[in-house]
Structure 1
Amino acid sequence: MKLAYLDLIGGASGDMLLGALLDSGLLINNLEAELKKLPIPDFVLKVEDGHRGGLHGTSVQVQIDEDVRYDWEGFRTVLEASELSPTVRTNAFEVFRRLEEAERRAHRVGTEMESPRPQELGSTDTIIDVLGVLIGLEILGVSEVYCSAIPVGVGSIASEHGVLPAAAPVTMELAAMVGAPLRPTDHRGEMVTPTGTALLTTIASFQKPVFELQSVGYGLGSRDPSSVPNAVGLWLGEHTCAEREELCLLETNIDDMNPQVYGFVRDKLQVLGAKDVWITPIQMKKDRPGVTLSVLISKSIERTAVDIIFKETTTLGIRRRDVDRYALERTSMEIDTTLGRFPVKVKYLSGKPWAIMPEYEACLKASKDLGLPLRRVMRQIETEAEQLLITQDDA
């Protein structure tokens, strides 16, 4: 499974991300062929080798014959009329949805009011940047994208709205919408554009994966400051046999709550996205029986999980600590067997199917319907699935 890691050295914009993709091996002819499927004015991608500081990479400029201006509905119309893949279109709709929502938040527009016009963002250039990055990732076969913390500059910038802080309000709203980590710097000027931030917060996870590096590319911005290379790094590779995740462990001891509530709390935390939730019996003060509620979660949803625990339990305090976890790649699929079609989970090791576990509920239903022992059903499904997936892969 191919992944990409974005190192925001000096920031990120749509054209910088495009440059990084091209510098990493994306062929310009393949990219332009896909972009031609968009109902937009003719354009040319000017691609040049260059350097920022001592870092060599690729820069991209979009040259357009007729720069049509778009509102939010215009963006959606272009996407609906395109012949791009469903994945690219779905991600593009989400990028523009987030941009529109961030503009509404930045301008303090209520839900009953019309969204502000995109202003600088309402250009053909924006469409090409957004779709070009999404298309490029798909062509390169990237299925997962990770990203470093977003760098933020100081000072001010000029815009059609007037003078704005270098950390533009729309950019900050986009980051806040997903709880993206920020890295404040002393660099003067804008480092990450709204378009770049919308792409990053839509397609990337702000985590540090463990992977086998295959290629490196650098996309260059138009400016060349002396303080930092104005570039974004793109590292392409494959997952190692086990991926290391940076997670958070929340724990609390409880001895005064109706036990029936624990199941509800567990279900609510799992719906939120907790990696695991478990309850351990303990002995508390004055020999009172109690439990430790433990929740393993991604840091991005930590605050929401804390709120759920405080609201839904009787606890007055929660412990937390950072933990690392190694996790193998796993997928869910359905396979055809002599007993019918069954869902199974497949564990991968070094990119190959390694073990298979039938879904319990489906096996239980088949056991009752067919009048067969549950263990026999599970064993038969597992055996046939291994012959289908593991034996064929080894061959």
Structure 2
Amino acid sequence: MKVAYLDCSTGISGDMTLAALMDAGVDAEAIRAAIDSLGLPGVELQVTETMKGGFRAKYVRVEHPEQHAHRHLLHITKIIDAATGLTNAQRALAMRIFEAVAAAEAKVHGSTIEKVHFHEVGAIDSIVDIVGAAVAFDLLGADEVVCSPLPTGRGRVSIDHGICPVPTPGTAELLRGIPLQDVPVEAELTTPTGAAIVKTLADRFGPLPEMTIDAIGYGAGTMDFPDRANLLRVFVGTAVTSPLRDQVDLLETNLDDVSGEVIGHTKQLLLDAGALDVYSVPIQMKKDRPGCILSVLSRPEKTEGLLELLFRETGTLGVRRQRITREKQYREACTVPTPWGEVEGKRGWRPGGISTFAPEFESCAKVAREHGLPLREVYRAALAAFDGSAATRPVGAGEPVATGHDHDHDHDHDHDHDHDHDHDHDHDHDHDHDHG
């Protein structure tokens, strides 16, 4: 699997992204041709070599005539739709980035996506940066884009609405749900364009993933800092992790002051919101109170939403959160014949191992209801039908895997809960108010 990793140690902007991707080997002439097709008069993309803090990097600058127009999303859409040098995929990706900006600006200005004005991001250089980045990422063809936590910088900047603290309101809105890091630099390190690109393209956030590096690109920012190189690095390579291994977040909280009805209701809401699994374990808490640990397994991109739901529904004062590695089996949906009709289920296997089969409860229950049978009898018949089929043979690692109907019901109850029954009464409210 091809992976691109954005190392944003001094932030990210549109021109830095474009420069880094070109330096990593994306065809600069193809990007130029796509930008030329936008039909923006007097626009020229200049790509040069530069030095930042003693390191060589590419530097991108957009030359264009002076402008005073403030554009709406409709104007941006017309420009992109008319560009003959963009593929449908590139056009769609560019529009997704602009729509992310429009949604953020509409939120902070109390307007709508259609009515909101693009200021900085509606300028010609930002249009070129966003379209160029969309083209570059499409040409790169990465299967996954991973990004480091983003530094916003510090201080204040002047925008069309006056003097604003860093991050500006629109940028802060774009950064919702994205992990941030503090870099002590008095400057705007992550621009609205950079934030929109990351918001749209990053599949997950974290450290440099396990990969074999094929190329590294360096994109230079415009500012110079005395104690660090103002560079965006892009690592491009091949993931070395097994497709049978992934990372998930484990959220846990100790509860002794909510009813069973609330816990059951919360579990269902969490599953409906995309949790991989939700389960509870009875425990004995302080002052001999009976309680439970409510545990949630979540894909990293779903964690923030599930965390908020957990706080809202249970009123807990604290949630433990950790990133864990999960080992899986290949799996695919399949059906088996029984004397009363087909039963759906899920087949799982490891490379070189024997297949296993888990009948789906709803499918078995439907057959049992329709034919007046005990549920366990339908289960037994489904398992017997699978055991008698060729599907139980050893399976090689290269066998194709069907992904349809894979609801990830891998009830892999990893019960290493670190039972520190502290009930989290230390008011650790985790006030992540997205301050940048």
Conserved? CA contact 1:41–1:68, under 8 Å: no
2:383 to 375, 383, 387: 375
2:253 maps to 251
CA distance in 1, matches of 2:144, 2:198: 12
The secondary structure found in structure 2 opposite 1:390 is: coil
For 1:280, the equivalent position in structure 2 comes to: 281
Name the aligned partner's letter for residue 217 of structure 2.
G
- After superposition, the C-alpha distances for 1:117-175 in whole angstroms (9 at most, x for unaligned) are 21232133322211222222222221222222222333333334443334333222221
Name the CA distance, whole Å, in 2 between partners of 1:269 and 1:284.
24
Secondary structure of the 2:216 match is strand
1:139-150 → structure 2 map (5 Å cutoff): 139-150=139-150
Is 1:295 matched up with 2:296?
A: yes
Distance 1:180 1:390, change over 3 A: closer
Q: Which moved more, 1:376-385 or 1:213-222?
A: 376-385
Distance 1:232 1:311, change over 3 A: closer
Distance 1:377 1:222, change over 3 A: farther
Instruction: Verify: 1:266 aligned to 2:267, yes or no.
Output: yes
Q: How far has the Cα of 1:52 moved from its partner?
A: 0.5
Q: What residue number does 1:320 align with?
A: 319
- Measure, in 1, the Cα distance between the counterparts of 2:48 and 2:23: 10
Measured in 2, the distance between the counterparts of 1:18 and 1:344 equals: 44
Query: Residue 384 and residue 146 in structure 1: after superposition, are their counterparts in 2 closer, same or farther (change >3 A)?
Result: same
Aligned pairs (5 A) from 1:117-196: 117-175=117-175, 178-196=176-194
Letter of the 2:297 counterpart? L
Comparing 24-33 and 10-19, the one that deviates more: 24-33
Report the Cα distance in structure 1 between the residues aligned to 2:328 and 2:44, rounded to whole angstroms.
Answer: 40
How many residue pairs match? The answer is 381
- Specify which structure has the higher proportion of strand: 1
Maintained 8 Å contact 1:154/1:188: yes
1:219-238 to 2 correspondences below 5 Å: 219-238=219-238
Q: Which runs of 4+ in 1 moved over 6 A?
A: 65-68, 284-289, 329-340, 342-349, 353-359
C-alpha spacing 1:344/1:71, structure 2 compared with 1 (3 Å): farther
SS of 2:319's partner is strand
Looking at structure 2, the residues matched to 124 and 360 of structure 1 have their Cα atoms a distance apart, in angstroms, of 57
Unmatched 5+ residue regions in structure 2? 371-377, 402-436
1:43 Cα offset (Å): 4.2
Q: 1:348 to 1:311 in 2, by over 3 A?
A: same
Tell me which amino acid in the other structure corresponds to 2:46.
K
CA 1:228–1:282 in 2, change beyond 3 Å: closer, same or farther?
Answer: closer
User: Matched residue of 1:15: which SS?
Assistant: helix
- For each residue in 1:256-291, what CA deviation from the matched residue of structure 2 results, as whole angstroms up to 9, or x when unmatched? 634x65554223112333343112244678998764
Contact 2:24 2:234 in 1 (8 A): yes
8 Å CA contact 1:102–1:174 kept in 2: the answer is yes
Distance 1:293 1:251 in 2: 6
CA RMSD of aligned residues (A): 4.4
Preserved CA contact (<8 Å) 2:355 2:393: no
- The 8 Å contact of residues 246 and 322 in structure 1, kept in 2 or not, is answered as no
CA change 1:253–1:157 in 2 (3 A) is closer
- Larger mean Cα displacement after TM superposition, 21-30 or 156-165: 156-165
CA distance in 2, matches of 1:165, 1:374: 63
Contact 1:274 1:296 in 2 (8 A): yes
SS in 1 for 2:9: coil
1:297 and 1:100 mapped to 2: Cα distance? Answer: 29
Equivalent-residue separation in structure 1 for 2:33 and 2:222 (angstroms) = 25
Query: How do 1:1-395 residues align onto structure 2 when only pairs under 5 Å count?
Result: 1-35=1-35, 38=38, 40-41=40-41, 43-64=43-64, 69=69, 70-82=71-83, 84-106=86-108, 108-110=109-111, 115-175=115-175, 178-204=176-202, 205-208=204-207, 210-214=209-213, 215-242=215-242, 245=247, 247-254=249-256, 257-258=259-260, 262-282=263-283, 291-297=292-298, 304-313=305-314, 317=316, 320-327=319-326, 360-361=359-360, 364=363, 373-375=381-383, 378=386, 380=389, 382=391, 386=395, 390-391=398-399
Contact kept? 1:328, 1:347, Cα under 8 Å: no
Flag the structure with higher helix content: 1
Whether the 8 Å CA contact 1:8–1:232 is kept in 2: the answer is yes
Shift of 1:346: 8.0
**SS of alignment partner, residue 180 of structure 1:** coil
For 1:269, give the aligned amino acid.
Answer: L
Partner-residue secondary structure (3-state), 2:183: strand
Q: TM-score, normalised by structure 1?
A: 0.77
In 2, Cα distance between the equivalents of 1:123 and 1:290?
A: 57
Aligned residues with identical type, % of pairs: 28
Unpaired stretches in structure 1, ≥5 consecutive residues: none
| 1:187 match: secondary structure | coil
Query: SS where residue 219 of structure 1 aligns?
Result: strand
**Segment of structure 1 superposing worse, 19-28 or 91-100:** 91-100
1:169 to 1:262, Cα distance in 2 relative to 1, 3 A:
closer
Deviates more, 1:135-144 or 1:88-97: 88-97
**1:189 shift after superposition:** 2.3
Q: Compute the displacement of 1:51 (Å).
A: 1.3
